[in-house]
Amino acid sequence: MTHRSWMRSEGFTTEVFDGRPVIGIATTWSELAPCNVHLHRVAESVKRGVWQAGGFPLEFPAMALGETLLRPTAMLYRNLLAMEAEELFRANPLDGVVLLSGCDKTTPGLLMAAASVDLPAVMVTGGPKLNGKYQGTDVGSGTAVWRWEEDLLAGRMTQEECFFAEGCMSRSDGHCMTMGTASTMASVAEALGMQLPYSAAWPAVDARRYETAQRAGQVIVDLVNSDLSPSKIMTRQAFENAIRVNAAIGGSTNAVIHLLAIAGRLGVPLSLDDFDALAADVPTLVNLQPSGQYLMEDFCYAGGLPAVMRELGGLLHGDAITVTGRTVAENVADAPCWNRDVIHAMDAPFQPPGTGTAVLRGNLAPDGAVLKQSAASPHLLKHRGRALVFDSPEAYHAVVADPDLDADENTVLVIRYCGPKGYPGMPEVSNVPLPKKLLNRGVRDMVRICDGRMSGTAYGTVVLHVTPEAAAGGPLALVRTGDWITIDVPSRALTLEVPDEELARRRAEWTAPPPAAARGWTRLYTDHVLQADTGADLDFLIGASGHEVPRDSH
Ligand code: FES
């Protein structure tokens, strides 16, 4: 009586308490997360579908992570969202959940939660913005910003032009419309089988986004009735599909960290090396920024992810089950492609196999580092140069315009203390702009090495996720300006050319930085966060607890 009576204060009729499935709709809506600001409306469509299918929908908020506003980085809070959502899913009397996400970290955060609770779940991402339009050309979220930042620094663009351009870039609801992290993770969720076919690509303002949301409302009731839970969908096969799809779409390096973290919640064995090995024979098929030319709206009109997955054919596990209750192969069997310049065919790929994420190792990154080959400059994939070292991106930014900066195009910029513990939260700062004096000379890329991450919208020859990070005492902390560094991507090697004895001497002199915070979430995070090579989850959040509450006194 207590449960029903209090719920009736919301105006529900008694029929909704007849035992029908109770479907939670976890929304990461917030005006502080502009990419997710339309999710309230998406939730209304989901509710229609739930009612239609005989369920009882209840919408509730989960922490919204707005990539552009949160400091020091939204990534600091991905695990907090995952923890909050996990507890909400378990503690409330829900039979299934619909996960409404959009901006970068909201998608992996909710998937991690769903994985740990293992209630039937279906994801509905909010969809990308319409293409940006500036001076007659398409401009992509984020990707254009990096270019304009350099143009502003080099005097090729005025501040007034920048103000005008920023409005042209963000002209509708939705998340970044490049193949950045949000579009990547939406595609990855679809490839994992956790969201409906075509969901990743419908623009946020497209009526079919709302149609698909309504369909997801129907689907979640079916999933509850058939007890098809995330652990039955997100299997090792599904992760292998997601990794291969990520390579084919030229997806973000952030997918590496997020997929490792989601797999960790399910107990699915997945390692950093799987990303390199599984992507080795996958060509890049999708010609989208930042690696290519087009944007998500074009991707949608070209056929979206099902067209890519159909093209990948035998490279995917076609028998992996998805939220539709059907297999991957069944879902994409008839998927058409309408534009081969946007979605290339396997026999005429956009980039050849082996141009996806490379995993580098060596004495500078004993536990690995990653590099997005499709976004790098081919002439820098084998490179030897002297290190120019900065202990923070801020320290580098302070001198980036210095005409006397001791750097040339062969210099290897090392930016460190940007890892999970160091910054904290492992921000997307690794693709620092080039020194102004080199930009003025027309240099457009140079090797950068960092223990932080790079935005999925960014490009450049940037070695990321160096593990262990400097703040955890990784060798990156021992590099000094003037040291020679060799990067050899074909051999997957990253070498600091300093003798072991000298490194040992430097290590003896090194002291760990103090914790970033004395209390609160940041303290909990830095005390427990794992390194990037295993997904940067918290050590005590690995694994699943299921959907039974530990002690139910009611
Ligand atoms: Fe939200 Fe890019 S800032 S998706």
Could you tell me the pLDDT band of residue 31, with boundaries at 50, 70 and 90? very high
261: pLDDT strictly greater than 60: yes
Output the pLDDT for position 552. Answer: 58
Q: Bridge partners of 415?
A: 390, 450
Report the C-alpha gap between 465 and 426 in whole angstroms. Answer: 8
Helices H / strands E in the chain, number of each? 19, 14
Is pLDDT at 438 greater than 70 in this prediction?
yes
Query: Residue 339: exposed, middle, or buried by beta-carbon count in 10 A (0-12, 13-18, 19+)?
Result: middle
Q: What is the predicted pLDDT for the residue at 549?
A: 82
Task: Output the pLDDT for position 197.
Answer: 98
Whether 28 and 81 have beta carbons less than 8 Å apart is answered as: yes
- pLDDT tens profile 136-159: 999 998 888 888 888 888 888 999
3-class SS letters over 337-361: CCCCCCECCCCCCCECCCCCEEEEE
Residue 403: asked if its preceding bond is cis (omega within 30°), the reply is no
Residue closest by Cα to atom 1 of ligand 1: 103
Q: Does the Cβ of 67 fall within 6 Å of ligand 1?
A: yes
User: Which backbone phi and psi does 420 adopt, to 5 degrees?
Assistant: -55, -45
Amino acid 83: pLDDT: 97
The residue type of 450 is C
Contact (CB, 8 A) for 406 and 287: no
* Pocket test residue of 67, 107, 139, 187 for ligand 1, highest count of atoms within 8 A of CB: 67
CB under 8 Å to 71, separation ≥6 — which residues?
Answer: none
* Longest CA pairwise span in the chain (Å): 76
d(CA 480, CA 176): 37
In the 8-state DSSP scheme, what is residue 288?
A: B
Taking 80 as the threshold, does the pLDDT of residue 456 lie above it? no
State pLDDT tens for residues 37-58.
Answer: 999 999 999 999 999 999 999 9
Q: Rounded to whole angstroms, what are the CA distances from 123 to 126, 282, 322, 443?
A: 10, 26, 11, 43
Average model confidence (pLDDT) across the chain: 95
Q: What is the pLDDT of residues 204-242, one digit of tens each?
A: 999 999 999 999 999 999 999 999 999 999 999 999 999
Alpha helix (H) residue ranges in 37-193: 39-52, 78-91, 106-117, 143-153, 159-169, 181-192
pLDDT of 414: 98
Give the pLDDT confidence score for residue 506 in this predicted structure: 98
pLDDT on residue 9:
96
- How far does residue 102's CA lie from ligand 1's centre (Å)? 8
CA–CA dist 383, 484 (Å, integer): 10
Report the DSSP pairing between strands 132-134 and 137-139: antiparallel
Name the region of 465 (left: φ>0; alpha: ψ -120 to 50; beta: rest). left
Q: 262-271, 364-373, 506-515, 545-554: which has the minimum mean pLDDT? A: 545-554
CB 33 less than 6 A from any atom of ligand 1: no
550 falls in which pLDDT band (50, 70, 90)?
Answer: confident
Give the per-residue pLDDT at 524: 97
pLDDT tens digits along 466-489: 999 999 999 999 999 999 999 999
% pLDDT > 90, the chain:
89
Report whether residue 175 contacts ligand 1, using a CB cutoff of 6 Å. yes
Q: Is the pLDDT of residue 554 over 60?
A: no
Task: Enter the tokens of residue 461.
Answer: 């020859």
Nearest residue (CA) to ligand 1, atom 2: 176
Separation CA 197–CA 202 (nearest Å): 10
Let me know if 131 is exposed, middle or buried by CB neighbors in 10 A (0-12, 13-18, 19+): buried
pLDDT at 375: 85
Q: How far, in Å, is the centroid of ligand 1 from the Cα of 104?
A: 6
Segment 109-134 shows an average pLDDT of: 97
What pLDDT is stored for residue 368 in this prediction? 97
Q: Is the pLDDT of residue 548 over 70?
A: yes
Any atom of ligand 1 within 6 Å of the Cβ of 176 = yes
Answer yes or no: are the C-beta atoms of 384 and 447 closer than 8 Å: no
Q: pLDDT for 75-107, tens place per residue? A: 999 999 999 999 999 999 999 999 999 999 999
Q: What is the DSSP string of 437-469?
A: HHHHTT-----EEESSB--TT--SSEEB--SS-
* Residue 406 Cα to ligand 1 middle (Å): 35
Q: Is the pLDDT of residue 284 over 60?
A: yes
Q: Rounded to the nearest whole angstrom, what is the distance from the C-alpha of residue 188 to the centroid of ligand 1?
A: 16
* Rounded Cα–Cα distance for residues 248 and 99 (Å): 25
Share of the chain above pLDDT 70, in %: 99
Residue 171 pLDDT: 94
Q: Is the pLDDT of residue 457 over 90?
A: no
* Ligand 1 neighbour 128 (Cβ under 6 A): no
Q: Is the CB of 35 under 6 A from ligand 1?
A: yes
Model confidence pTM above 0.85: yes
Residues 6+ apart with CB under 8 A from 254: 104, 181, 184, 185, 428, 453, 456
Partners of 355 in the β-ladder: none
Q: Nearest Cα to 130, choosing from 215, 202, 65? A: 202
The Cα 240–Cα 248 span in angstroms is 12
Cβ 104 under 6 angstroms from ligand 1? yes
Overall average pLDDT of the 438-453 stretch: 94
- Within 10 angstroms of residue 497's Cβ, the number of other Cβ atoms is 13
